[in-house]
Chain A
């Protein structure tokens, strides 16, 4: 089992094999296949996501992450239900989110649901907080998009307290106060899940990630690298400022988007109708312009290796590279083929490149649960694993004192 309790050698074992993680993330869009006219219904789309995640696990990818959306054409409204199921039917893949809505979800429910997922998956999970950019969603959940940043900040501060303190008294601006509240289950081994913060444009969120020493993922799939570089650099500087390590040791993730066939021209021909009709960028720039200006790469596996292998030169060594693969109406069969190409031809090469480019004292991968437990134990900072226990089994300290 992955739990590191009582197994101090575990983290060493992991480090030997650790390197940048490669995974896929889904926005869960229901989009008509422009080449066939087929539109999956919601059930078909949800089940396709499950198949995709299982396939990614079997193919050897490191991460599967689902988005969270509460409006059509997206179906992924309930990430922990999906990820909880996947925890049971996958073996190695890390389950994550892209993103968990820190603004419109009740922070108490986030703390509970993701602690539950952490326990069920035996720590084979992390999550990424995001604000959500769909204005109408906020009022449906009783919130106001103009308060997006303050909500993200207050809610996340509460989530952390609920995970690290057994009994919480709390009062804030956006939620009913809590008196003597305990979120259960307590985090696995008394150590909360690793958290990423995703933001495309807001330095405040990079600042938040840096303050807590959390990960920062810039989903740059619709953005030029010049912008991504600025955001990542800002996060790195602030990470160092808050004393979590050197700037180049901060935990960074990037988004990506590829379509591959053995021959470049086949990839271009096959993907073009999906590109031209895609939500977001369809009917806009040409595929050639968009591939030049953003990380979208349509071509041979080697072209993807060359392009993505160079991102380290732009943002420094980073720990997680995610790819968008199931979107724009691509049929399930094609998506599974893309996962196979990615996992068998591209990722092994990118791992080598990443390994060669990693400075020795920069973390190879985002911290796994086992590594976090080992680190917390070393600091005497692992919290309680049982309500009312209140003390840490290794140090005898109360969670509150350990912080």
Chain B
């Protein structure tokens, strides 16, 4: 009990130093936070300037002349309505497709016994590590052979199957207690009904994680669409945004480009803020516990 006095003593000092430390950390976090936010703020602020405001010297942060027309102009100039539609179709198709194929296969890997199951699963895991760059060229040749160049199939169909998502589903489903399933089976449920009525509802958190991950990745995807989607009619938003700034002209219309960037970024920001919990969980579980 001799330590009680010294402890009380140091507790007072500790409290003060903790407060000081907290303050310091807040200051650092805020400064870093401003650095992280600044480019976004700059993007939005400049999306409301006119061309003179963009090139004016010295530059101001808040527009001197507010020009809301930028959004309308950027939108029509580049056919962003079509781009939005293309991006939305692709993202929806890939998300739904992956949820379906990954959860079905995940269930088979996690629960059903059939010859070769574990060997196939090992094959999936090992091919998860192959970088996509290696697939670019053979897959492109394949798309040409299928006649899919400049069609949305080319950015949808190859991505309906996901080794990573299948792996995640399997890992999640293995942890579901067997009793529930057994009860359903005894009541006469077939395998598909068991999967559909019992397993899928219990897998919702993992499904949500896969859905938001796939949505963000597909929405942001650039390299593959750049290769296979040549015609303007099928271009997705990232492609339009990239080609928009490469249009030659006397002065780059940065105010329009910033307006375009703003409305391309907004859907993912909303998706992230809504589904942040699942997104973060996905990163953390697939990361730390990814080894299985």
A in complex with B: no
